[in-house]
Amino acid sequence: MERVSEVLKFILSMVEIELPEVSPPRISGDLFREARKKIEKATEITEEFQKIIGEWRECREQYEREEVRYSFAQLISNYLCPTGGEIGYGYMALYGEGMEEGILRVVEATGGYCAVLKAGEGTSPSSLIIFLKRDEVKVKSVVEALDVKHFKITLEDLENIEILRNEAEKLRRRLENIEQRIIEKTLKSGTQLYVLFTELSILNQRVRILSRSKLRPGIYVVSGWIPRRRLNELNEKLSLVSGGYIVVEEADTIERPPTLIYTPKPIVPFFKLVEAYGLPESKEINPTIFLAITFPLFFGIMFGDVGQGAVIALVGLLLRKVKLTGFLSMFNEYATLFISLGGASILFGFMYGSIFGPGRLPALWVEPLEYPNGIYTIILVSLVIGVIHVSFGILLNVFNHLSLRDYIGGFKATMWLLFYLIFTSPILLKAIGSLKESLLDSYLRPTFLEVMVLPLVLMILVPLVWEWHRRGLRRAFGEAQELIMEVFEATLQSIGHTISYLRLWALNIAHESFMEVFLRIASMGYSINLVFGILIEGVGNILVMILEGIVAFMHVLRLHWVEWFMKFYGGSGYRFRAYEERLPVLKFK
């Protein structure tokens, strides 16, 4: 019977499907008539399958019972009671669902004065319970109360073992014959039934669309979204199938349009990081391409090591070759991310002179733990990167407002960008060596403070004047409080988020310091035993790669989600999903 198990699963799933409903003729006469014909044909085939499946189930149940009866009768006759002799005990066979619970209840009812023989062969596991004649009524009442499949083996069964064997064999041949008929019926009508159901499902989708689009008899209005570049193609195809009796117009709507997203395969892992924050709106800049550049860059600064970066990149290459399963399958699509992070780590490892620990290579740029040059350099570079990154985020905010024709919003974003560039100019001048005085002295100069505050003042006054001109003085003063809060928030973000980029330096120092500690411990291990030293160094590198790698990844993600996305990215869009006539999915029961 194993050879037809998959066929039976398929057929059972087919005949237990509920056929889709179709709308009455007044909604769509042609579609309804077509669907009704298909339903009648599908119902006819389904009834034929149901009949033969019912016959198969009945025969299987009979065969299962007779096979168990014959097996246990033969066992009793051969080993427990001579054929034709008086039975000194009662014999009850249990099989099928609920058998285990039935055995336990029988043991309780007889006070333990019974024996159980279990058999695993046949169509299903079965058990023979041997009990004293005095407990026969108790045993029978227990199994009947539990509704367990059972039967009593009698003296007549023992005397007619050959008859039982022939009956079981006869049922087995009949069952195989029915199964062969099922296979033949499946080859003949199974595919036809599936095709009919598929066509009915598609017709049902079409009718549902038309039933929501009725304008007047014979006229329908269907609305939806389509990429602008495919509008002409839609016009041509609709005109072709309708003979020109169709009109396509662009309609005004207050609904937010969906976002059509196309992501090149190499940067899909980075888009997953953006998507976890939220999808861009239709006219909002998608930051994925920029994040694909800055994310590995930030990670490399925090986690620069040639050896450890090579291990991370190797993991990415392995993910491309070996497909993980189960819970780990979520990492399969992140191969490119691992390779890019590992590559950035290798690059900065050469810059820092670090390979499985600091100081093992000549540094091409700077040694992060060197005081004061190394530490001050990384700090200044972290701030400069923060300035560039935040400035770019505010600039993208300007473009977002202009693309929506929100010119006041664009003006406010421009003033914010101007304020931020003035505010961070001492950092940039310090980085290129043009500023000789300290940063603190630069910020405390009165002229600098006056110039820095000017964009913030304009950020309030210009929108107020605009509101005054459009909606009156009262409305303008109503907006004043909100504008002041916007300026206050922009100022705090400009200061706090720039300082937050010092985590590039902090995570770099933490990574280098941890490796320095493990290398010192390993050096003591090497003095004891070479293998012991290698073991300590290997364990240290593994711990740092896992723990520091995760921490660095999370902080890089935070710099993008919080410090950068908050400048320009809302992430409140929803994905464009084109209409498709989905095929039904059959679930085996």
Residues 111 and 484: their CA atoms lie apart, in Å, by 86
Q: What is the pLDDT of residue 197?
A: 73
Q: Return phi, psi of residue 153, to 5°.
A: -95, 120
In angstroms, the first-to-last Cα distance of the chain is 17
User: What DSSP line would sit under 472-513, residue for residue?
Assistant: -HHHHHHHHHHHHHHHHHHHHHHHHHHHHTTHHHHHHHHHHH
Report the alpha-carbon distance of residue 347 to residue 356 in Å, rounded: 14
Radius of gyration of the chain (CA): 39
The tally of CA atoms less than 13 A away on the side-chain side of residue 338 is 19
Pair 43, 185 in one domain? yes
For residues 142 and 152, give the distance between their C-alpha atoms in angstroms, rounded to a whole number.
13
Q: Are 340 and 296 in contact (CB under 8 A)?
A: yes
C-alpha 260, offset from chain centre: 20
Same domain, 92 and 118: yes
**Count of domains forming the chain:** 4
Considering the domain boundaries, does residue 262 fall inside one?
Answer: no
Last residue of a domain, one of 473, 501, 529: 501
**Same-domain status, 49 and 189:** yes
Position 326 pLDDT exceeds 90: no
DSSP label at residue 564: I
In this structure, is residue 247 part of a structural domain? Answer: no
Average pLDDT on 304-319 reads 94
- Residue from 587, 562, 582, 441 nearest 500 by CA: 562
What pLDDT band is residue 120 in, cutting at 50, 70 and 90? low
- Does 315 lie in the same domain as 403? no
Per-residue pLDDT band for 241 (boundaries 50, 70, 90) equals confident
As a whole number of angstroms, the distance between CA 242 and CA 456 comes to 59
User: Do residues 458 and 355 both lie within one domain?
Assistant: no
pLDDT digits (tens, 9 = 90+) for 329-381: 777 888 999 999 999 999 999 999 999 999 899 999 999 999 888 999 999 99
Taking the C-alpha atoms of residue 285 and residue 368, their distance in angstroms, rounded to an integer, is 36
Q: How far is CA 539 from CA 478, 519, 525, 589, in A?
A: 63, 11, 12, 49
Is it the case that residue 24 has pLDDT exceeding 50?
Answer: no
Q: In terms of domains, do 552 and 451 share one? A: no
Of 463, 483, 501, which closes a domain?
501
In a domain, 3, yes or no: yes
220 membership: H or E segment, kind and range: strand 219-220
If pLDDT is split at 50, 70 and 90, which confidence band does 7 have? low
CA proximity to 301, closest of 251, 345, 340: 345
Same domain, 147 and 92: yes
Query: Maximum Cα–Cα distance for the chain, whole Å?
Result: 120
* Nearest alpha-carbon partner for 503 in 441, 541, 542, 548: 548
The Cβ of residue 207 has, within 10 Å, a number of other Cβ atoms equal to 21
Residue 17 confidence (pLDDT): 47
Same domain for 79 and 210: yes
As a whole number of angstroms, the distance between CA 540 and CA 533 comes to: 11
Phi-psi region of 115 (alpha: psi -120 to 50; beta: other; left: phi over 0): beta
Residues 480 and 514 in one domain: no
Q: Is residue 436 part of a domain?
A: yes
Measured CA distances, 365 to 352, 377, 388 (Å): 6, 10, 21
Q: In whole angstroms, what is the distance from residue 28 CA to residue 209 CA?
A: 11
> Is residue 422 assigned to a domain?
yes
Instruction: Confirm whether 227 is domain-assigned.
Output: no
Do residue 33 and residue 177 come from a single domain? yes
Q: What would the pLDDT profile of 379-430 be if each residue is shown by its tens digit?
A: 999 999 999 999 999 999 999 999 888 998 999 999 999 999 999 999 988 8
Residue partners of 269: CB distance under 8 A and separation at least 6: 333, 334, 335, 336, 337
Share of the chain above pLDDT 90, in %: 34
Amino acid (one-letter) located at 546? I
- Mean pLDDT of the region 194-223: 70
Q: Cα–chain-centroid distance for residue 314?
A: 25
Task: Report the C-alpha gap between 369 and 331 in whole angstroms.
Answer: 34
Q: What is the band of 22 on the pLDDT scale with cuts at 50, 70, 90?
A: very low
**pLDDT band at 510, cuts 50/70/90?**
very high
- Whether residue 257 is contained in a domain is answered as no
Residue 205 located in a structural domain:
yes
55 plus 162 within the same structural domain: yes
pLDDT of residue 317: 92
CA distance 557 to 546: 16
| Angle, CA of 548, 270 and 341, to the nearest 5° | 40
CATH of the domain at 139: 3.30.70.260
Does the pLDDT of residue 26 top 50, yes or no?
no
Question: Same domain for 276 and 342?
Answer: yes
CA distance 462 to 308: 53
Query: What is the residue-wise DSSP string for 66-89?
Result: HHHHHHHHHHIIIIIS-TTSPP-E
Return d(Cα 201, Cα 195) in angstroms, integer: 10
Structural domain for 342, as ranges: 272-365+505-574
In what helix (H) or strand (E) does residue 133 lie, and over which residues does it extend? none
CB 341 within 8 A of CB 299: yes
CA angle 420, 291, 427 (to 5 degrees): 30
